[in-house]
């Protein structure tokens, strides 16, 4: 069997507004328009990912927070209704998700071998987290590729951002080892925003773009700083400043998603492709692709 590989990694933020504005049949609320720059960026990224013909999409999301280790899904299918608790008027999404259970359990096994605490969900009524569902929908709205969900272990981040990053790196290394052993072509999705301070009031029409802007200038400067590092391939340096970025911009990368993905990819030193940057209720969001083939790097 050929060695498996990570064929791409995507920073794939999950504001429910983006799915709301797309009006897919699975989502109940209807929108007129909104957040087009981000949605068009997702369209471009989606085409690149589809061209890679991945076997599996693996997503790590802050909205499946766990406090005793990392959890994995152990059943082949989950169906249900996902409602965003903050924006229930924007996101009420009916999902039907096929899980790659062998790979899910293989990553769990590698985590166990590395001395990490893990758990497997075997409750068919378990409700999948909306962050993962939104990122997966925006990357593959047809849902015709099996997926693996990984929970965000937040215990280490409570201790410090630095220790949290170490645990996220351990998870990344375990993920990579399991992928290589699986023989599968995998795409990783880090489901999070960049800066994450947001407004607490919403306009009467949620998609009224005359209200949409960054929460404050300092947050914008931080977002541009980290995007420039991604564009230059300065990923190691980015990981070095991640703890400070988390503090200064209240960044959602605190959940460990981006660190997990970059570490799993071996801390790529080639330029990432920034497909879009835009704000959603004041938070900074970017669709960014690390694709070794498109960057002229083999993997
Ligand atoms: Fe979120």
The DSSP string of 65-78 is EESSSEEEE-SSEE
Distance (Å) from CA 250 to ligand 1 centroid? 12
Inside any domain, residue 295: no
Distance CA 186, CA 292 (A): 13
Distance (Å) from CA 265 to ligand 1 centroid? 23
Distance (Å) from CA 177 to ligand 1 centroid? 28
Distance (Å) from CA 182 to ligand 1 centroid? 30
Inside any domain, residue 212: yes
Inside any domain, residue 129: yes
pTM for the predicted model, two decimal places? 0.97
Report how many domains make up the chain.
1
CATH of the domain at 123: 3.40.830.10
Q: What is the pLDDT of residues 232-241, one digit of tens each?
A: 999 999 999 9
Distance CA 185, CA 56 (A): 7
Inside any domain, residue 297: no
Please report, in tens digits, the pLDDT of each residue of the chain (299 residues total).
899 999 999 999 999 999 999 999 999 999 999 999 999 999 999 999 999 999 999 999 999 999 999 999 999 999 999 999 999 999 999 999 999 999 999 999 999 999 999 999 999 999 999 999 999 999 999 999 999 999 999 999 889 999 999 999 999 999 999 999 999 999 999 999 999 999 999 999 999 999 999 999 999 999 999 999 999 999 999 999 999 999 999 999 999 999 999 999 999 999 999 999 999 999 999 999 999 988 877 54
Full domain range(s) for residue 10: 5-290
Supply φ then ψ for residue 222, to 5 degrees. -65, -45
Distance (Å) from CA 299 to ligand 1 centroid? 31
Distance (Å) from CA 13 to ligand 1 centroid? 8
Inside any domain, residue 14: yes
Inside any domain, residue 57: yes
Distance CA 16, CA 31 (A): 12
Distance (Å) from CA 165 to ligand 1 centroid? 18
Distance (Å) from CA 297 to ligand 1 centroid? 32
Inside any domain, residue 296: no
Inside any domain, residue 208: yes
């Amino acid at each position: 069997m050929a060695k498996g590989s990570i064929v791409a990694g995507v920073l794939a933020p999950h504001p429910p507004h983006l799915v709301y504005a797309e009006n897919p049949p699975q989502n109940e609320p209807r929108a007129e328009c909104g957040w087009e720059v981000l949605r068009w960026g997702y369209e471009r990224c989606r085409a690149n990912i589809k061209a890679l013909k991945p076997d599996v999409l693996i997503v790590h999301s802050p909205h499946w927070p766990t406090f005793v280790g990392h959890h994995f899904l152990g059943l082949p299918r989950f169906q249900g209704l996902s409602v965003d608790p903050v924006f229930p008027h924007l996101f009420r999404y009916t999902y039907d998700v096929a899980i790659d259970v062998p790979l899910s359990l293989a990553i769990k096994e590698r985590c166990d071998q590395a001395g990490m605490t893990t758990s497997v969900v075997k409750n068919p009524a378990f409700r999948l987290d909306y962050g993962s569902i939104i990122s997966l929908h925006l990357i593959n709205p047809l849902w015709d590729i099996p997926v693996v969900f990984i929970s965000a272990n937040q215990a280490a981040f409570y201790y410090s951002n630095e220790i949290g990053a170490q645990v996220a790196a351990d998870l990344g290394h375990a993920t990579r080892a399991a992928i290589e052993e699986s023989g599968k072509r995998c795409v990783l999705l880090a489901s999070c925003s960049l800066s994450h301070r947001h407004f607490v009031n919403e306009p009467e029409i949620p998609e009224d773009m005359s209200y949409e802007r960054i929460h404050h200038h300092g947050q914008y400067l931080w977002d541009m700083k980290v995007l420039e590092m991604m564009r230059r391939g300065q990923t190691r340096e980015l990981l070095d400043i991640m703890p400070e970025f988390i503090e200064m911009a209240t960044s959602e990368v605190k959940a460990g998603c981006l660190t997990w993905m970059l570490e799993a990819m071996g801390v790529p030193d080639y330029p990432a492709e920034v497909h879009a940057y835009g704000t959603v209720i004041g938070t900074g969001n970017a669709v960014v692709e690390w694709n070794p083939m498109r960057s002229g790097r083999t993997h």
